Structure 1
Amino acid sequence: MELQLVRVDYLQVGVTSQKTMKLLPASRRRATQKIVIGDHGGVVTCFGIKKGEAMPVFKTLPGQRITRLELGGALNTPQEKIFVATGSEVRGFTKRGKQFLSFETNLTENIKAMHISGADLFLCASYIYNHYCDCKDQHYYLSGDKINDILCLPVEKLSCIRPILACQDRVLRVLQGSDLLYEVEVSGPPTVLALNNGNGGDSGEELLFGTSDGKVGLIQVSSASPVHKWEVRNEKKRGGILCIDNFDILGDGVKELLVGRDDGMLEIYNFDSTNEPVLRYDHALSESITSIQGGCVGKDGYDEILASTYSGWVTGLTTEPVHREGGSGEELKISQEMQNKISSLRNELEHLQIKVLQEREKYQQSSRSSTALSAVPAFSVNDKFTLNKDDASYSLILEVQTAIDNVLVQSDVPIDLLDVDKNSAVVSFSGCDSEPNSNFLLATYRCQANTTRLELKIRSIEGQYGTLQAYVTPRIQPKTCQLCQYQIKPLSLHQRTHFIDHDRPMNTLMLKGHFSFAEIHSWVVFCLPEVPEKTPIGDSVTFYFQNTFLDTQLESTYSKGEGFFKSDNISTISILKDVLSKEATKRKINLNISYGVACS
């Protein structure tokens, strides 16, 4: 059966974060569902679709940015209560828009991830996990690296509460109460979690995960040890995963896997005879897909895939066919309903064009006044600077809620700009005087009309470190620009890993001195990527790294007053020695340095 879907754009709200759009449960099977979405303006919007038009149900007042939106309710009942995380507060609304909960948590940071199961509320800040039951504190856990998402296995199928944290260091942390039960290593930094089939499968222990480098996998999280079921590699070099859902869009009784990526690719996978996912359908949107869900939205009886994007568009891919009458050589007949809709849209467009001209003229007149004030328009930049293991290059992704005019890239360290197939911007290079000003690169990317997302590829040289700056200018008036800065680290091509080959001959570097654990950790953060900024718990820590370009490895173990580094690349040891010596000298700390050179 061939899958044919038609795209429909329903509504645009403000800029949205990951997992902030949901479909409310339907009143009956295959009846249309209401959509609820939260944006960075703090507004929760609930609406339904009637005759192709968005009909509002309720809309809240603006407030702090909404970072998560989840549905909840009593166990084994329709989940139709709306919960939003905004700042360090959780608010609850009924499906009619009445607020029934305002819970100010004891978190000192903003909430980054949230999950709700019955009376249990699971919240995560950057490194902190909290479990509340009926708004009373139950459990707490401090993670070793940043938490990207949280999920709890279904309590209805298990005899215990089993929260799972998706952490930046390529680890899923399975908790029991306030304790770590065990860790599950995955192939990339996990960014999103979802229950397989929407309910965890037959056992309730099956967990889907998506990574920032574009992989999707399934793990069975049992109480004893995890079982890796399958993993879909990112062979087509597409974007990272931001959202996952399961829905039977084919109507064959088996739910398909829905995936939304940060490069705007929406993918639908079905399963072969061995229960391995196979890509069945994909569709390209022009911006990041922050949420995805399957349901019935536009018309009774017609299923569709609903997605929300970074700039706030709510878009559907519906199974409802587009009816066209007329054969070859005949004029196309349009229904009266469609004619009325086209006429209404034309009138609305003319009205908006007149209004824009009036406001522009009004602004020009006021700007000539001696008392004129010009407000700088605010805009949001969604950026991502990550190392690609496959080609040892950095991807810099810049996404703006409005069209980008140009991006100026400047670097005080030698770097190369590589070609990107998806990039249609025109690049021009300016001459740089690198000696007195340490200015090695100055390039301008001029974007085509309606470009809201720009992807650049950069390759650095290890041992040369500094700052890369991107000046983003959108197509808005008056002209304004936003500066984004990224650190090129001394060992910039190294990537965190969880194991190394201990049989290789290793060069060693040992440091001793009067420095604290926090001080040497800050030096390692300065030298190497993917190291958590927060000082680790305990008296010492060990990190493993792999060079993505040369495939060499590095082991770093350090504690208060002592640091020990091992690598099979002598250049890595030399760079570490130079940089760590400089950092210690800045703080007037004397170091006792000793080496060991491997004999092959």
Structure 2
Amino acid sequence: MMELNLTRVDYQQVGITSPKTMRLLPMSGKTQKIAVADQQGVLQCFGMKKGEIQLVFATPPGPKIIRLEVAGPVGGLKERIFVASGPEVRGFTKKGKNFLAFDTNMSEPIQSMYVEGSDLFTCGNFIYNHYRDCKDINHYLCGDKINDVITLPMDKIPDVIPILACQDRVLRSLQHSELLYEVEVPGPPVVLELYGNDAGDDGNEILFGTSDGRVGLVQFGTLAPTHRWELPNEKKNGGVLSLANYDITADGVLDLLVGRDDGLVEVYSFDEAEEPIWRYSHTCSESVTSVQGGVVTTPGYDEIVCSTYAGWVFGLTSEPLLREMGAREVVIGEAAATKLSHLKNEVDNLQQKVLDEREKYQQTAFSKDAVSAVPIFSINDKFVLNCEDASYSLSLELQMPIDNVLLQSDVPIDLLDVEKNSAVVSYSACNPEEGNFLLATYRCQANTTRLELKVRSIEGQHGTLQAYITPRIQPKTCQVKQYPIKPLSLHQRTHVFDSSRPHNSLTLTGQFSLAEIHSWVCFCLPELPDRTPAGDNVTFHFISTFLSTQLECSYRKGEAVFRSDNISTISILKDVLSKEATKKKIRLDITYDVNDESIPHTLSLIHPRLEHQLLLAKKVQLVDALKELAVHESDTSFLSAEYQQILKEADQLQIEYKKQPCHLERLYGMITDLYIDKFKFKGQNVKGKVPALLEVLDTYDLQGLVQFLKTLHDS
């Protein structure tokens, strides 16, 4: 297998770019042109000639451009450029002539778009519209946020079959204005792409990328869809922002190119197996908003072209740019010398310009009629739940370097280690009585434009996490971002529910509307659409990422029913919903049904985690003593096999233990809550018996714990 050696070549920097706003035009001559649009509203098209940028055209600034597509006749050459900004779609030829300015009259700004022949597909957050020759022919109101839209190729599929990627972990296939069917995928899908650029032999294979970093292939059959393959995100890489198909390995088979929000560009090859195999990675320090494959700089040399959030457009070229010179004298050619001189002059001019502007600013700042202007900067932020380790990832990205980030929380949360994070963290003393449970400052190294943090919340306690972001710009300025920590923050949406489990139920009745009960449920649980769903009855299913317990929320005007195999989940909902109703002065009738069998069931779900953590804690306690012994004794063969294994895995064990601070306390806390909640529903207060429960946990045995909870209840 040939090793892939690619070298980064920077082309230019444009304004901040949104995902899917950079495309390569078809080959013209021996190379391809790059079309890129930014949030300053500028669309530009350029090529490369002898290492210099050749601008084909650039539009004047305007409203920020959210999407860029290249299209053409069905099955023909795709060389027309379409851009979406606000509710408008504009079309340009490859030379820059504006041939289309179409106002869709959508009530929401366009967030995603796809063009095929004379068909235009646009989506806002919840509304999908299909236009043919600029006439509205189909529309659909989606129950959850739409992240992307694509359609199966019309030269292979006679019907128009659009696919919507929705935030609730579902791909929705439409026909005309009706829902054809839904496909559940493992994470919230944010990007769709045709497999092999033509959706496969039958024209029905779609690639998807999720915000939690997974990539998969779904085949949309006529009756039912099939999942062909899925790449798990074992290395906890960033969310997928862009996908492309291009044969960068030059083996005659198209490879899969992936761009992620943590700056990772990856190449996967299809060898013998159906599933793609990882071949290459390149890391840059900014989100990769678009990725494409083609020939841009030098004829005959393939490259991966990328655009980043901060506006860099660069290539990863297969052309060998660095040659081994050994001890020989390096002779710079005339062209290279001219280029170096030109670059040096450019840098000198820019430095002088910066000095002049700084001096000008200082003079105006100290004059009598000076007006202080706060520089405005945009923040690309993401706060998402990771189902693998039941934690939240907070990523913050700026166009300029970050100086520091201050985190403040009015609820107890744990900060977890992030390997990619090179910032120095310092904690400040805070007083929980004043509503401060966390004050932490991250000081970033020079030129850090992206920071990733990890936090874990405690269910039942809700509030707000605030991030104060200060960039390295003058005058000093700071922006505050707020992230809600919900009462059931570690639950994620799912579309399956196991009715065979023992369930506890909570029923609320009262004079509330569907919109009111939906807003209360949104307050309690993440991943729900703000918009009240259509219809009279609404049902949502959730799974706990920490314990794998489940929750069903079913409600309509005047009545809501919640079912869960975890009694603590029901208890949290009862407390929070009754408080929300009291705020609105709405009287609620609350009834509940407790299933005693749910307690041993939930304990059995906690058991593997608790057993693992107890064993891990026990092993880590032994590590230091065993290491000391190994220092004094050159031969440790007299140790038992178990101790030798602990010594062998010492570093790994300590890393795992460090990664999971307070994990054991969390599990103990959950068992204690389970115990208190069980008897609270039976009208008994057992808080005074918690020390006895903790004694049982110290000599942990599942059967003994189940028996303790039962006997106390029976006595």
TM-score range, shorter chain: over 0.9
Q: Deviations over 1:16-72 (max 9, x none)?
A: 0010001111124xx111111110001101111111121211111111110000012
Pairwise CA distance, 1:373: 1.8
Other-structure match for 1:232: 231
For 1:156, the aligned partner's letter is D
Q: Which has the higher helix share?
A: 2
Aligned partners of 2:227, 2:364: CA distance in 1, in Å?
Answer: 65
3-state SS of 1:66 partner: coil
Pairwise CA distance, 1:75: 2.1
3-state SS of 2:579 partner: helix
- Mapped pair 1:11 → 2:44: no
Other-structure match for 2:128: 129
Deviates more, 1:334-343 or 1:58-67: 334-343
Q: Deviations over 1:284-314 (max 9, x none)?
A: 0111000010011011111110000000100
3-state SS of 2:519 partner: helix
Write out aligned runs for 1:17-36 (5 A).
17-28=18-29, 31-36=30-35
Other-structure match for 1:425: 423
Other-structure match for 2:455: 458
Pairwise CA distance, 1:325: 6.4
Write out aligned runs for 1:51-450 (5 A).
51-322=50-321, 324=323, 326-327=325-326, 329-435=327-433, 437-450=434-447
Aligned partners of 2:205, 2:331: CA distance in 1, in Å?
Answer: 50
Other-structure match for 2:471: 474
3-state SS of 1:263 partner: coil
Pairwise CA distance, 1:271: 1.1
Larger Cα-atom Rg? 2
Aligned partners of 2:229, 2:134: CA distance in 1, in Å?
Answer: 37
State the number of aligned residues: 596
Aligned partners of 2:322, 2:439: CA distance in 1, in Å?
Answer: 53
- Mapped pair 1:486 → 2:447: no
Aligned partners of 2:531, 2:322: CA distance in 1, in Å?
Answer: 58
Structure 1 segments unaligned to the other structure (5+ residues): none
C-alpha RMSD of the superposition: 1.1
Conserved 8 A contact 1:214-1:238: yes
Deviates more, 1:203-212 or 1:331-340: 331-340
Conserved 8 A contact 1:72-1:80: yes
Identity %: 65
* TM superposition score normalised by structure 2: 0.82
Pairwise CA distance, 1:401: 0.8
Aligned partners of 2:504, 2:101: CA distance in 1, in Å?
Answer: 57
Aligned partners of 1:544, 1:473: CA distance in 2, in Å?
Answer: 39
Aligned partners of 2:336, 2:593: CA distance in 1, in Å?
Answer: 78
Aligned partners of 2:227, 2:284: CA distance in 1, in Å?
Answer: 31
Conserved 8 A contact 1:325-1:333: no
Aligned partners of 1:138, 1:326: CA distance in 2, in Å?
Answer: 64
Q: Deviations over 1:121-175 (max 9, x none)?
A: 0000001100000000000101111000000000001111110000000100000
Pairwise CA distance, 1:267: 0.3
Aligned partners of 1:253, 1:540: CA distance in 2, in Å?
Answer: 53
For 1:446, the aligned partner's letter is R
Aligned partners of 1:287, 1:324: CA distance in 2, in Å?
Answer: 28
Q: Deviations over 1:207-226 (max 9, x none)?
A: 10011111111111112111
Structure 2 segments unaligned to the other structure (5+ residues): 598-715
Q: Which has the higher strand share?
A: 1
* TM superposition score normalised by structure 1: 0.98
For 1:12, the aligned partner's letter is Q
Pairwise CA distance, 1:413: 0.9
Deviates more, 1:245-254 or 1:116-125: 245-254
Aligned partners of 2:514, 2:506: CA distance in 1, in Å?
Answer: 17
3-state SS of 2:540 partner: strand
Higher RCO, Cα 8 Å, sep 6+ = 1
3-state SS of 2:62 partner: coil
Write out aligned runs for 1:565-584 (5 A).
565-584=562-581
- Mapped pair 1:497 → 2:494: yes
Deviates more, 1:445-454 or 1:361-370: 361-370
Conserved 8 A contact 1:210-1:241: yes
For 1:573, the aligned partner's letter is I
For 2:505, the aligned partner's letter is T
Aligned partners of 2:557, 2:281: CA distance in 1, in Å?
Answer: 52
Q: Deviations over 1:526-550 (max 9, x none)?
A: 0000111111111111111111112
3-state SS of 1:298 partner: coil
Aligned partners of 1:7, 1:75: CA distance in 2, in Å?
Answer: 35
Query: Aligned pair in 2 of structure 1 residues 325, 232: CA closer, same or farther (>3 Å)?
Result: closer
Aligned partners of 1:425, 1:508: CA distance in 2, in Å?
Answer: 46
